[in-house]
Amino acid sequence: MAEGPKTQMPARRKARKRALDVLYEADVRSLPPVEVLANYLERIAAPRPEHLPYAVSLVEGVAGHKDRIDELIASYAEGWTLERMPVIDRNLARIAVHELLYVDEIDDAVAISEAVELAKQMSTDDSPRFLNGVLGRIAEYATR
């Protein structure tokens, strides 16, 4: 049985995509991410995907550190406010910054390249370059 490209996506990328779905919905609807997450989890039938715990940890981590994460993004996104950023970019940046600062087992380069890859698939033509620049500057700051 041949598997399509969607099933070939690495588990952590699937987790990031799920976390993005939840954070995007929370952002657009102005709801707390953990509330949207609870509703999201209720809709997922058993057996639950193996990557789901990492997606949950990303949403909870972004929600728990949102003020610090948003402060860093705003500081390093030269000429851009959080409100002006496309919703997808803003939330991809939040996920990546959470990984850069709080998830030790993810290399900085991986966190950045995953955000850039998802931006290529889901956002504007300028988004990958924009995110790469902002996240690169934050990663430099974080390793000092």
Instruction: Give percent of the chain above pLDDT 90.
Output: 85
pTM: 0.91
Domain 11-143 = CATH 3.90.650.10: no
**Other Cβ atoms within 10 Å of 131 Cβ, number:** 27
Position 1 confidence tier, pLDDT thresholds 50, 70, 90: very low
Structure confidence at residue 120 (pLDDT): 97
Between residues 139 and 6, which one has the greater pLDDT? Answer: 139
Structure confidence at residue 3 (pLDDT): 40
Structure confidence at residue 142 (pLDDT): 84
pLDDT digits (tens, 9 = 90+) for 31-42: 999 999 999 999
Structure confidence at residue 8 (pLDDT): 56
Name all contacts of 71-75 with Cβ < 8 Å and 24+ positions apart.
72/97, 72/101, 72/138, 72/141, 73/97, 73/134, 73/138
